[in-house]
Amino acid sequence: MPDDTQDSTQAMRVPNPVRVPDDTGDSTQAMRVPEPRQNLVPLLVPLVIGGLIAVGLGLYGRVHTPTGYAVGLAGFSGALAMKAWLTTGAFVLVLVQLLSALVMWGRIELDVPWIGTLHRWSGRVAFLLTLPVAFHCLYALGTQFDAPRVMVHSLLGCFFYGVFVAKMLALPKRGLPGWTLPVLGGLTFTALTGLWLTSSFWFFIAIGVKL
């Protein structure tokens, strides 16, 4: 899932365990570790800002008159091909994000010293690849609800940037629940997967694999 400049492989500090006598009177003492306090208040600002961005993009796409064209990138046969391949590149890099995150969280046991760097830079490049696509969608096409696939694609695009901003803003905050980043990262991954399925995958199936 796209990440920013902060390494998410920070060590978790656990308070010193407190020894309490066993109820049985046995000399063996039970170990009780106080649970760290979790505060959801700092999460409100990232969620509100992310929500406003998602809604703002959707409103702009509706009120803006589509131009039918936008600045394209050289090397592609057309705007649809550009969108399909750039979104595919971003999707592949997000898969790298997912695997590297699983390594950093200990779900996959691999001794890779540079995994944090790979995670950060794959996220940065993936996000940059989505920008020309988003610009073309909003400026040239707008937010459209006339067909189920296009409607889902439009809504997922707005949601993707909203949840991405929320994740980036929540990343440097302390005291948040441990599920915060995995959930926001998972939602970002899910949104981009949906965008790829409703755009690139559709393009490759309906039109063909071509530049």
What pTM, to 2 d.p., does this model score? 0.74
Answer for the pair 170, 180: CB distance below 8 angstroms, yes or no. yes
pLDDT at 150 over 50: yes
State the virtual CA torsion across 50, 53, 59, 65 in degrees, nearest 10. Answer: -150
Domain locations in the chain? Answer: 18-206
Q: pLDDT higher for 41 or 47?
A: 47
Confidence class for position 15, pLDDT limits 50, 70, 90: very low
Take residue 28 and report the two structure tokens written for it.
């063996």
**Is there a contact between 60 and 45 (Cβ–Cβ < 8 Å)?**
no
Structure-token pair, residue 89: 């590149």
Q: What is the pLDDT of residues 49-101, one digit of tens each?
A: 999 999 999 888 888 777 777 666 667 777 778 888 999 999 999 999 889 88
Q: What is the mean pLDDT of residues 95-111?
A: 84
152-190 per-position pLDDT tens digit: 988 999 999 999 999 999 888 887 788 888 889 889 999
CA distances from 20 to 16, 26, 164 (A): 13, 11, 44
Ranking 1-5, 13-17, 46-50 by mean pLDDT, the lowest is 13-17
